[in-house]
Structures are given as structure tokens and as C-alpha cells.
Amino acid sequence: MRQGITPAEALRIVLEHAPPLGAETTSVSDARGRVLAEGVRSARRLPPSDNSAMDGFAVRSADLASASAERPVTLEVIGEIPAGGSSELTLRAGEAARILTGAPVPPGSDAVVMQEDTARDGDRVTIGISPQPRAHIRDAGEDVEIGDQVLEAGALVGPAEIGMLASLGRSVVSVHRRPRVAILSGGDELVEPDGDTSGGRIVASNSYSIAAQCLEVGAEPVYLGIARDTPEDIERHLRAGLRADVIVSSAGVSVGDRDYVRGVLEKLGCSLLFWGVKMKPGYPLTFGRFEAGDGPIAFGLPGNPVSAMVTFEQFVRPALRKMAGRRSLFRPTVRARLADRLHKQSDRLHFVRVDLEREGDEIVARSTGNQSSGVSRSMLLARGLLIFPAEIHELRKGDTATVQILDEDFLAPPTPAFS
Amino acid sequence: MRQGITPAEALRIVLEHAPPLGAETTSVSDARGRVLAEGVRSARRLPPSDNSAMDGFAVRSADLASASAERPVTLEVIGEIPAGGSSELTLRAGEAARILTGAPVPPGSDAVVMQEDTARDGDRVTIGISPQPRAHIRDAGEDVEIGDQVLEAGALVGPAEIGMLASLGRSVVSVHRRPRVAILSGGDELVEPDGDTSGGRIVASNSYSIAAQCLEVGAEPVYLGIARDTPEDIERHLRAGLRADVIVSSAGVSVGDRDYVRGVLEKLGCSLLFWGVKMKPGYPLTFGRFEAGDGPIAFGLPGNPVSAMVTFEQFVRPALRKMAGRRSLFRPTVRARLADRLHKQSDRLHFVRVDLEREGDEIVARSTGNQSSGVSRSMLLARGLLIFPAEIHELRKGDTATVQILDEDFLAPPTPAFS
């Protein structure tokens, strides 16, 4: 097991052990946010037949070759083409048919004349223009041909993909499985939110924020509850998570007397790959994987809420996205100017919780204040995490730095894109 | 009713009639993505009591005033402070207690000495440093005091908010209601995805993409099915949507013979506020509101898939976000350089479907090709919608323009923020 590695090394190791999960079949309506595990070819043409792009009359362009405003041509209207259902109509010389937008062009017809260019009188229509062949006809297959590869494996399914799959008549589609994440809190001082908090007990809030972090990336959280600080109770809880794709435990991985989680993980067959990442908050992060079959990967997150959230952001989140088949793993970043000086003694990389504001063309980052990892309130104020590199000990007021955007609303403009 | 207004005017009218919805109570675990309708004050202190920031020994700093490496002081270890549950221990002169991180500091003690600075021998511990009073003690209420306004009304509930609410012992919270959106497709040519598509019939795919667009913003879609092109059938379907917050119908709002939706909406008590927006795609957009009580607002979207998706993006999406209480209503935008010339005849604003690529520091926008609103495949390729302003008729290769980002993955960097 490696110890005291850099965040970049840690992330590389994590992602190496987080391959995309296998495929499952889901209904198209439930596929939103999933990633296609199959390419989709079309078994139909879209539109299915030549059809009218306008409300008007289907005609034979040859009949109107000499037509003009001065010398209009009158045709016999033999009926109307219904928008749905097949028509028995076939156009012969001298005939026209009323047609609405989207209706199939009848056999014999090769053009549509817009309603505005016609004058109807009973079963006759007079036309003063000479349409080109194919005028106002949308070709069958203009959008999609039979056999076209319409969607690629790896595509994220959004509204446009769902609309297309529906158009193709697909009711189910193959997608990568959602990662199932077993979440465990460990500590004798922990209670559920409705529990008794006298005597210094605190709520196992990490399990709830971690579950929400899982849902944000489309993973499925499974809550294993609170383990007491004994190897037996931790083992009992962890066993319940062995069928998950990922185990995330928080607390119990400090160097203290009660550090049982790592031992229990190893006992259950987990190879620990690293412990301790040179970052702040979040140093006591543990990562391992179960060797047997396709056992889960396991993250031991530090116990305090800020450290747990930050380490989830940096390592668990990209792993879950990769497992779900996503190509894009990381949060958007911006370059921001510092409103105040930042300094540190350590040669660890610091993730500084910052508020962000736009000032003209610039983005200004301001520390949320007390950066103690015990101050969970600071996470509420953090619109981003500023990267304070390991090798730098001072960032001066006015310097620029990279900031990971946690609050994606920050990227949205306050006013519409058009005016 | 106004006709042929600009997109900016249309958006202003829509948002004016889309106030935030009322409050409902939801469980904290289900509150993710919702907007708080109440400010949250804390009924507890966090941490609940003075507690140790380290594994080590709780001491009385006065006992160690003279301690140094050369002249260490030995104290009697009277027990261990459990992390959870109250301790009966009180420290008297000459005494120390074993303490673990997070455990409450016992009465009588005013400092913690780190384990690394101690040597234990049975029930005695020898200490070679002189701690300051309060050393390694986290103060009760350091994070949150009783009565603190921890969350403001209007806050979006994410993982940090859920963790905090759990820590405060909250199991439910008041949030703005999710908009319920009744979705209707209209047209004799439409069938469900498993329907018979012979004779030029096509799938009512808009209802599926619109439902997905609703889910993307946390709204709740209710599918009303497909109405046939008769006033009676449209009325029957629309009546089922009157209890929703928003009605979205697609097709049936062209100028064609079958334009029954507007008439039926008015018959049911809807005041139409505008018809026709000077944009492409999407001109035949209708918007109205039901006057009586808190009846729904109603959007009649154009029938073809691209127009339906683009008009939803521009008008329905911001309205739904506003109704859900969101402060941020609009898609992120970027400035992009055009890879090719774009031109148009009309003085309508065009939303040009574009692919986007990064080239160095620049973003390059390339038309997805055929901009016919019949080509639904182009929406699959569109990572953004480029704003081609009404009053401009040509954008030259190399010009820059504003692009709304549809594919938020585009904003994510391909590599980690740290290395």
C-alpha cells in the first residue's frame, strides 16, 4: 500500500480501478442521464414518406408548367390527404389534392403549392404559379434512413436522444449500469438525525450528504447505517455492502485507537492501494479494491463533514461518472482572481472553499473564512474549491488560481442570452 | 393577444406569469434539487460541546505550566472519555483522561495534549510540554450556535445543505412545489412509440423529449396522450391538464385548417397573451394563462421536434425554474468564434444548432448542417444554440457570437484541475 501520495497520483489509481460498468436494458423514458452501451441504428426512415412541408395542394408540376399570375391554371380537387392513415388517392393529369403539413404526398404528385398561392372554388383550385418538381416536399428519409447509425455507444441520453429513440419506435435501450454505492458511517458518537444528541453525540450527517452526492451523478446510494467502533460491528455492516459497486465509509480511518475500518476491509478481502493523500482537507483518505470477481472498490473518507465532501468531490465523483460510462468526469473550472492573500505552511495541496463573484469580465474568489475542516457551514457558502498547489506557500491578493465550480448556477448568466 | 413579438418580449411575458409556486413539506432526503421556501434556524449547537480535535489526553493546563522536555510532569490517568455517551469523569488537580478525536472534553479539563507528546505507563502519563489553555479543543458552537440562521429561503438544496439539515436533526423541510406539467401531443398522424407507423404515421416523440426536458429541471411531467385533430378530442385531453401548473401542447398551433388548440384553450378559459414569436425555429409559439384561481399557464409549441425543443428551451425551461423557486433561470453561455459564414434573409432571431470545440483558448462553433426544423437529428449534434440576432443578416467566418450551452459536459475540463 502506498502512503502519502499526491492527489494526482491518488486520482490516477482510483480511475484505473473504476472501469465502466456493464450494460442493462432500461425503458427509453427512464434512460435520461444514462450512457448508451450500444450504438443505435434506425429500423425506419424519418420522415417515413415524402410529405408536405406546407398546408396547400399536392399537384403534378407538369400540369402547371405554363401557369403564371396572368395565365393561372385550374385543377380538379379530387380529395384531401389525411395527416394520419393511408390515402387511396392517386393524382392523374389535371388533378390536385388538398394536403396539410406533414401529410404524405399522394402517388402521381411531385410538388406542393402553398395555400397562399391558390384560390379554391368548390372542387376546383386555380393556381397562378409554376412550382419546381419537389417543391415543398420533404423527402422520405431526409432526417434518418434505414440502417443509419443514429446514436453512438457512449452517448449521454438527454431529451433529444429520448425523442429520437421514441421516433425510431424504441421502447427499451441498453445503457451502462448505475453504480450502486454502499454508504457506511462509523463512530460511537454518531446517531441518526432523529436520535438523542445529548452527551456530545452528533448526527451521522456524512451519510446523508454522501447519498446526495451520489444522486447528483446518477449513482444509487444504499445506506448501511452506523457501525459502532468495534471490528465486529464494522465487519457486519461492511459485509452488507460487498455486493455494491462502491463502498464509501466515513470516519474510522484516522490514526487513532479506533482505526478498525482498514483492518476489517483487509480481512474481508480488500487490497488497500493507498492511505493518506497530501491534501487539505482530506489527508486520511483510504482506497482499496476487492480482488475477488468483480467486487467493489472501497473508499474510506475522513470523518469530518468538510473532509468527507471534498474527498468525495475529488475522487469518488469522477470514479462514479467513469463507472456510469460518462466521458466527462470533472467539474467545470474557471480562473479566478484572489480577493485576499492566502498562505499555508504545508506542502500539501489545499482545496480552499471560496465564494465567487463576477466583477466585469473577471471572476473574483474570496475565502469563505475559517478553513478548519470542522466548520461544515463553510461548505454551504462554497461556490467553488480553489486549488492552492502543494509547492506554493503564498497566493497574493490579485493572483489568479484555478477554481472548481461546485455551484453550477454560477456559470449561468443573470439575464437572457438575447435582448 | 399580441402577435409577432420578439423573443425577449415573449420571455418577459412568460416570466411575468410564472411566479414561484407555493410551499410543501418534504423529507430532507428527498429535498435534493429543491429550493427552500423557509429560512432554517438551528435549534442546536454544532459541535454540541467542547470536544477534542486530537487523539490524546485531556488535562488541566495549570498542572503542566512548568512542564518541559527536560522537566516532564506525570499525571494520573483516571479513565477514558468515550466518543459517544456522557462521561461521569471530572478532572481534578494532577489528573488526566484519555480522549479521542471528537469526544467531549471533561469538566475540569481546559486543554488536550496530543498523543505524540505523551508517554503512558499504566495509569500514569508523562508529558513534556506545557499546553496553552484551550489547546486542541474545538469550542461548542464553533460551527453553529442555537438560533443561527443557517440556511436562507431561496437556497438550492444540495449535498452540503442536506448534510447540515441532518446535523440539525431536521427530518423535513419546507420547499417550493415542483411544477406539474401536463403534456399533450396533437395530430391525426401521431402514434405512440409502439404504434403502427404505416401510411406516413409518425411517433408523438415530442411528448417524450418534453417530458425529459421537464425532468431535467426537476419538474414533474404528466402525459395526457395524443389528441386527434378535432376540437372535441383536444378539449377532452386539455381538460385533464387543467389541474396542472403548466400545460405544454405540441402541434396544432400552425396556421393550418386544423388549428383547434387555440380555440379550445380560449373556450376553457385561457387568455391567450401572444401568438407568433419572431424567431426561427419556433415562430408559431402560443402562450396564455387561465384566469380563474391559480389555473395553469399554457404553452402551445410548434409540432416539429426541433421547434418544440428550442421553444421549450427558451421559454418553458426558464418558466419552470422560476416556478420551482430557482434564482438562476438561464443556460450558461459562451462567446464562440464561427467556423463558417452564416447568413439569413429574415429579420427573425435564429437559434442556430452548433457543435462546439475548444481550439486553444478559443471556442469554435460550427453549424450542425441542415438547419431545417424538420431535421431532428441535428438536435443530437447540437452542443449549443448560437444566437443569430434578428437585425443581422450575415455572420462571417471568424466573427464571434453568443452560444447557449445545451451540453453542460462541454464546460467540463478533459483533465483534472490538479496535477
Angstroms from A229 CA to nearest CA on chain B: 9
User: Considering only alpha carbons, which residue of chain A is nearest residue B332?
Assistant: A412
Chain B partners of A165 at a C-beta cutoff of 8 Å? Answer: 193, 208
**Strand pairing class (B362-367; B333-338):** parallel
CB contact under 8 A, B28 and A82: no
User: Considering only alpha carbons, which residue of chain B is nearest residue A258?
Assistant: B100
Q: Identify the residue whose cell numbers are 467542547.
A: B50
Specify the DSSP class assigned to residue A100.
Answer: -
Distances (CA, A) of A387 to A61, A349, A372, B408, B416: 68, 7, 16, 22, 11
Q: Angle CA(B350)–CA(B353)–CA(B359) in degrees, nearest 5? A: 120
Chain A partners of B387 at a C-beta cutoff of 8 Å? Answer: 417-418
Specify the DSSP class assigned to residue A294.
Answer: T
> How far apart are alpha carbons A287 and A247 in whole angstroms?
10
Angstroms from A18 CA to nearest CA on chain B: 16
- Amino acid letter for position B99: I
CB contact under 8 A, A85 and B331: no
3-class secondary-structure state, position A354: strand
- Ranges A210-214, B52-56, B128-132: which has the least confidence: B52-56
User: Considering only alpha carbons, which residue of chain A is nearest residue B83?
Assistant: A189
Give domain B24-44+149-176's CATH number out of 3.30.470.30, 3.40.50.300, 3.40.50.1860, 3.90.105.10: 3.90.105.10
* Short-list B397, B254, B140, B216, CA closest to A158: B216
Mean pLDDT of B294-322: 95
CB contact under 8 A, A412 and B255: no
Specify the DSSP class assigned to residue B116.
Answer: G
Residue B320 contacts residue B219 (beta carbons within 8 Å):
yes
> How far apart are alpha carbons A178 and A272 in whole angstroms?
24
Angstroms from A396 CA to nearest CA on chain B: 19
pLDDT tens-digit map of B144-186? 999 999 999 999 999 999 999 999 999 999 999 999 999 999 9
3-class secondary-structure state, position A141: coil
Chain A partners of B212 at a C-beta cutoff of 8 Å? Answer: 32, 158-159, 162-163
Mutation for testing the A interface, residue in B54, B118, B183, B189 having most A CBs under 10 Å = B189
Q: Is the pLDDT of residue B400 over 70?
A: yes
Chain A partners of B305 at a C-beta cutoff of 8 Å? Answer: 163, 167
**Strand pairing class (B349-359; B297-301):** unpaired
> How far apart are alpha carbons A211 and A192 in whole angstroms?
14
Task: Tell me the pLDDT band of B255, cut-offs 50, 70 and 90.
Answer: very low
**Rounded percentage of chain B residues whose pLDDT exceeds 70:** 97
> How far apart are alpha carbons A249 and A206 in whole angstroms?
9
Chain A partners of B165 at a C-beta cutoff of 8 Å? Answer: 193, 208
Question: What CATH code is assigned to A24-42+151-176?
Answer: 3.90.105.10
Residue B315 contacts residue B301 (beta carbons within 8 Å):
no
Task: Tell me the pLDDT band of B225, cut-offs 50, 70 and 90.
Answer: very high
Handedness of CA B48, B54, B60, B61 (dihedral sign): negative
Distances (CA, A) of A368 to A148, A336, A354, A386: 52, 15, 5, 11
- Ranges A67-76, A123-132, A188-197: which has the least confidence: A188-197
> How far apart are alpha carbons B199 and B352 in whole angstroms?
32
The shortest CB-CB distance from B32 to any of A7, A193, A215 is to A215
Counting one residue from chain A and one from chain B, the pairs whose CB atoms sit within 8 A come to 336
Nine cell digits for residue A181: 454505492
Average pLDDT, chain B: 93
Angstroms from A268 CA to nearest CA on chain B: 26
Angle between helices A159-167 and B205-216 (to 10 degrees): 160
CB contact under 8 A, B85 and A201: yes
Alpha helices in A58-204 (DSSP H): 159-167
Q: What is the reported pLDDT for B264?
A: 94
CB contact under 8 A, A84 and B199: yes
**Rounded percentage of chain A residues whose pLDDT exceeds 70:** 97
User: Considering only alpha carbons, which residue of chain A is nearest residue B350?
Assistant: A418
Mean pLDDT of A76-98: 87
Q: Classify domain A51-138 at the CATH class level.
A: mainly beta
10 Å Cβ neighbour count for B19?
A: 11
The shortest CB-CB distance from B189 to any of A83, A150, A197 is to A83
The shortest CB-CB distance from A189 to any of B83, B160, B165 is to B83
Fold of B333-411: Beta-clip (2.40.340)
Q: Identify the residue whose cell numbers are 498542572.
A: B63
Beta-bridge partners for B98? B57, B80
Distances (CA, A) of B46 to A202, A203, A374, A377, B32: 8, 10, 10, 10, 22
Mean pLDDT of A84-94: 82
> How far apart are alpha carbons A213 and A250 in whole angstroms?
14
Task: Tell me the pLDDT band of B260, cut-offs 50, 70 and 90.
Answer: confident
Please report, to the nearest 10 degrees, the dihedral formed by the alpha carbons of residues B56, B60, B62, B66 taken in order: -30
Q: What is the reported pLDDT for A416?
A: 96
Highest averaged pLDDT of the listed ranges B21-35, B294-308, B359-373: B21-35
10 Å Cβ neighbour count for B364?
A: 17
Task: Tell me the pLDDT band of A67, cut-offs 50, 70 and 90.
Answer: very high
Nine cell digits for residue B83: 466518543
> How far apart are alpha carbons A386 and A350 in whole angstroms?
8
- Amino acid letter for position A401: A
* Short-list B4, B7, B65, B12, CA closest to B385: B7
Exposure string over B235-273, b if 16+ CB within 10 A, otherwise e: bebbeebbebbbbbbbbbbbebebbbbbebbeebebebb
Beta-bridge partners for B279? B349
Chain B partners of A49 at a C-beta cutoff of 8 Å? Answer: 200
**Strand pairing class (A333-338; A362-367):** parallel
Residue A201 contacts residue B147 (beta carbons within 8 Å):
no
CA end-to-end distance (rounded Å), chain A: 58
Exposure string over B124-162, b if 16+ CB within 10 A, otherwise e: ebebbbbbeeebbbbebbbbbeeebebbebebbbbbbbb
B146-151: list long-range contacts, CB under 8 Å, 24+ apart. B146/B42, B146/B43, B146/B44, B146/B45, B147/B41, B147/B42, B148/B41, B148/B42, B149/B39, B149/B40, B149/B41, B150/A377, B150/A380, B150/B40, B150/B41, B150/B42, B151/A380, B151/B36, B151/B39, B151/B40
Q: Output Rg (C-alpha) for chain A, integer angstroms.
A: 32
The shortest CB-CB distance from B44 to any of A197, A209, A213 is to A197
Fold of A2-22+177-323: Molybdenum Cofactor Biosythetic Enzyme; Chain A (3.40.980)
Residues 6+ apart with CB under 8 A from B359: none
Q: What is the reported pLDDT for B256?
A: 56
Angstroms from B291 CA to nearest CA on chain A: 27
Average pLDDT, chain A: 93
Mean pLDDT of B190-201: 89
> How far apart are alpha carbons A372 and B143 in whole angstroms?
10
Q: Is the pLDDT of residue B87 over 80?
A: no
| DSSP string computed for B366-385 | EE-S---TT-THHHHH-SEE
Task: Tell me the pLDDT band of A253, cut-offs 50, 70 and 90.
Answer: very low
Angstroms from B242 CA to nearest CA on chain A: 24
CB contact under 8 A, B212 and A416: no
Angstroms from A292 CA to nearest CA on chain B: 30
Residue B181 contacts residue B220 (beta carbons within 8 Å):
yes
Specify the DSSP class assigned to residue A230.
Answer: S
pLDDT tens-digit map of A163-183? 999 999 999 999 999 999 999
The shortest CB-CB distance from A380 to any of B160, B171, B377 is to B160
- Amino acid letter for position B133: P
| DSSP string computed for A369-417 | S---TT-THHHHH-SEEEEE-TT--EE-TT-EEEEEES-GGGGS-SS-S
* Short-list A315, A308, A230, CA closest to A274: A315
* Short-list A95, A89, A103, CA closest to A52: A103
The shortest CB-CB distance from B162 to any of A159, A209, A404 is to A209
| DSSP string computed for A59-95 | E-GGGGTT--SSS-EEEEEEEEE-SSS-------TTE
Mutation for testing the A interface, residue in B86, B157, B202, B223 having most A CBs under 10 Å = B202
pLDDT tens-digit map of A195-232? 998 878 899 999 999 999 999 999 999 999 999 989 99
CB contact under 8 A, B303 and A102: yes
- Global pTM value: 0.95
Nine cell digits for residue A128: 397562378
Residue A189 contacts residue B84 (beta carbons within 8 Å):
yes
Task: Tell me the pLDDT band of A252, cut-offs 50, 70 and 90.
Answer: low
10 Å Cβ neighbour count for A329?
A: 21
Mean pLDDT of B19-29: 97
Nine cell digits for residue A98: 388538398
User: Considering only alpha carbons, which residue of chain A is nearest residue B223?
Assistant: A29
**Rounded percentage of chain A residues whose pLDDT exceeds 90:** 83
Chain A partners of B382 at a C-beta cutoff of 8 Å? Answer: 160
Count Cα neighbours of B397 within 13 Å in the Cβ-side half-sphere. Answer: 3
Angstroms from B282 CA to nearest CA on chain A: 15
Mean pLDDT of B252-276: 81
Q: Identify the residue whose cell numbers are 435501450.
A: A173
Q: Could you tell me the residue ranges of all domains in chain A?
A: 2-22+177-323, 24-42+151-176, 51-138, 333-411
* Short-list A166, A215, A216, A39, CA closest to B211: A166
> How far apart are alpha carbons B152 and B314 in whole angstroms?
29
> How far apart are alpha carbons B183 and A248 in whole angstroms?
40
Angstroms from A291 CA to nearest CA on chain B: 27
